Every structure is written in C-alpha cells, then in structure tokens.
Structure 1
Amino acid sequence: MSRPDVRVRRTRVLLRAALVELIEDRGFDRITVGELTSRAMISRAAFYRNYRDKYELVEQIFDEAMAEMIDGHDGETRSPGQRWADFLRHIDSYHRLYGALLGKKGSPWFADRMRKALATMSTAHLPGRTADDLVPSVISAVFVQSIVWWLEHDRPIPADQMAEQSSRLIRGVLEAVHEA
C-alpha cells in the first residue's frame, strides 16, 4: 500500500492535534467539524476529502492501530501478548488523544467502539466463543479499563509492563471460566 502524499499526511497530523486540543477544552460531543478545521488551519473541503465526519476521523486512527495490532508487518509472527504490548505502545504514542477520548470529556461512543473491537479480536483466541458472549465482553472491558487507568495515572509504567499486568488479569478471567 502506498503512503499518502505529504499534504494528506500534514492534514491528518493537524487534524489529530486539533482533535486532542478540542476534546480537552470542550469534550468530544461538543466539537464541530468547523471548529476542527479552524483549529487545524485547514479548509473544510480538505477535511471532507479525507473524512465523512469527526467520528470517521477517530475511527481511522483507531482502525489503523487495530490493524497494526492484528496484522503486524509483512507476515511477522507475534504472540497475543506481543501484539497487546505493541498496541499499548501505540496508545502511549497517542496518549493525549486516547486520554481525551476515554477521559471524562471523552466519548462513550468511542469507549464502546474500542470495547467491541477488542471483544471481536479476543474471540480469535477463545475457541467456541463469539464477540457477543460474556467472556470476550469482560476481557475487552478489562483491556479498556486497563488503558483508562494507565492514562489517568499518566502512564506510570512502560507499555510492556502494563501489557503484562493486564494480561495477567485476563488470564485470571480465563482460568475462572475454565473452572466454571
């Protein structure tokens, strides 16, 4: 897949920075596309060439991270724990964005979107389960709450360590399921 041209990359960077600032100032639900484009100093036309609305902007950022976590680079083989640690490194790189989206002024829509995506991903590692089952839902809630805690506490431990701690919690859930 070819990389987008410089103008598209610049537009994305500016919009992501503006999005974080506006969420921190006003909350996600109160942001308009006009405010986003004004803060990013781009035209509305440039925004709409790339995104349908503010939700698609956020979804694209998250979908890129999920694709990276699931697919990786060029067929590399990574354990689920390594993929989770890589995802947390992504969260760390965009900690202001995720902190804003998942924080008090954030978006319940985004938190739900993240839980559903992580539940769907979890089902691949849980034979006989679907994303609608309780277990993937609980696992995804633990993942999201781990991220929220980590961000709210200003990332007190490195991503690898956070991945290990949250993975231990997930293993505890899975052990309880197998005992039941």
Structure 2
Amino acid sequence: MSQRTDNVRVRRTRKLLRDALIELIEERGFERLTVGEVTERAMVSRAAFYRNYRDKYHLVEQIFDEAMEALLCTMADEDEQPPIKRWVAFFEHVAEYRRLYGALLGKKGSSWFAAKMQSSLSNNIAHHLDSITTSGSLVATLLGGMFVQAIAWWLENERPLSPYEIATETARLASAVITEANRPSS
C-alpha cells in the first residue's frame, strides 16, 4: 500500500472516530462512553482505534491539541493585530468548532477537557500579563476560567451574541479584572 493511500485511510479513520466521539458525548456524556462504543459508532475496529490512540482521553487530547493549534493560527501575528481582533478570531474559531467545544464543555462533557483548556488559556494569558500586573498567575488563572465559562455559556445558549459582541464583552470583563488586580491595596 502506498504512503498516500495509508495517510488517507488514517485521516478517514481519525475523522470517523472523532465524529463518533462527539455524537456519543452529546448523547451519553464523556465519562460514560467507552472505546468500544466509539469504535462501534464509527464502524472502525478496536485495533484501528488503538493504532491511533491509547484511550478515549488520548483521543480527546489529540482533538484538543489540533483545535488549540488551529486557534493559535487564527490569532497569529498578534503583535500586528489589536487585542479585540484576536478575541474576535478566538470566538470565530469557537463558532467554527462549536459542536466539538459544545460537546466537550457542555453538561455532558469532560471536566478533564475543561481543566486542560483552562490551563492552556491561563498559560497563554500569563504570557501576556507578565508586564501588566504583579499578580499575573492568579489573574491569568481567573481569566482562563472566565473564558472557558464564557465559551460554555455562549454555546449552551446557541450563541446569542456575535463573535464580535462576545469578544467585546469578555474583553471588557477581563480588562476590569486586570485593572482591579493592579489597583494598590489599602
């Protein structure tokens, strides 16, 4: 079999498994689903699953890594873009992958995924806050949690605000937290 044919087959298998995972999370919740259910829904053998992933957490981790890579690409050239444009790009990305984020951050989702996403966002925020606030780590952690909750709220409520509106609102709230963190204590 040629390398190209093999790559197409691997990509197809991974897509089927990911689609099945999202469907099952929406139906049953992440914690209750099994690898067997994912492979059955995807119509893929268990052997094919284990050639690609160690377990369901590894599958979610790979999805997360790819989604975060795509997210960071949308926010590339950050020094050239005003912060609000980066936030709008962030929420446009979330809207594009709404089914994935909605399943993983929703009521039936994965607390593991939510914690991983919060940690990733907090680390990214901390990198930007180093020169802005003296309590960067605490503020970054709070903002990371706020953004994960904002995403979950936005998706659970079927995106009642445009990406620009939700970006503006969360940026305003983040700015208030940063301003308060920088206020001298009495």
Which TM-score applies when normalising by structure 2? Answer: 0.83
Between 11-20 and 141-150, the greater mean CA deviation after superposition? 11-20
Confirm whether residue 169 of structure 1 aligns to residue 181 of structure 2: no
Superposed displacement of residue 67, structure 1: 2.4
Does residue 109 (structure 1) correspond to residue 112 (structure 2)? The answer is yes
1:178 maps to 182
2:85 partner amino acid: Q
Partner of 1:42: 44
Structure 1 position 157 matched with structure 2 position 149: no
Q: Secondary structure at the match of 1:157?
A: coil
1:1-180 maps to which residues of 2 (within 5 A)? 5-72=7-74, 77-127=80-130, 133-180=137-184
- Give the superposition deviation at 1:65: 2.4
What is the Cα-based RMSD across aligned positions, in Å? 2.5
Deviation at 1:85, TM superposition (A): 2.6
Q: Are the counterparts in 2 of residues 65 and 87 from structure 1 also a CA contact under 8 Å?
A: no
Structure 2: distance between partners of 1:119 and 1:70: 14
- Give the CA deviation at 1:80: 4.3
Measured against aligned partners, the alpha-carbon deviations of 1:89-140 in whole angstroms (never above 9, x if no partner) come to: 2221221221121111111111111111111111111116799921111110
| Structure number, greater radius of gyration | 2
Letter in 1 for 2:95: D
Once residues 30 and 116 of structure 1 are traced to their aligned partners in structure 2, the CA distance between those partners, rounded to angstroms, is 24
Distance 1:75 1:154, change over 3 A: closer
**Contact 1:88–1:159 under 8 Å retained in 2:** yes
Q: Counterpart of 1:125 in 2: which secondary structure?
A: helix
Asked whether the equivalents of residues 147 and 170 of structure 2 are also in contact (C-alpha less than 8 Å), the reply is: yes
The gaps in structure 2 that reach 5 residues or longer are 1-5
**Separation (CA, whole Å) in 1 of partners of 2:121 and 2:75:** 20
State the shift of 1:6 in Å.
2.1
**CA 1:6–1:120 in 2, change beyond 3 Å: closer, same or farther?**
same
What TM-score comes out, normalization by structure 1 length? 0.86
Equivalent residues of 1:19, 1:36 under 8 A apart = yes
Shift of 1:5: 2.6
Aligned residues: 177
Quick check: 168-177 or 63-72, which moved more? 63-72
Residues 69, 83 of structure 1: 8 Å contact kept = no
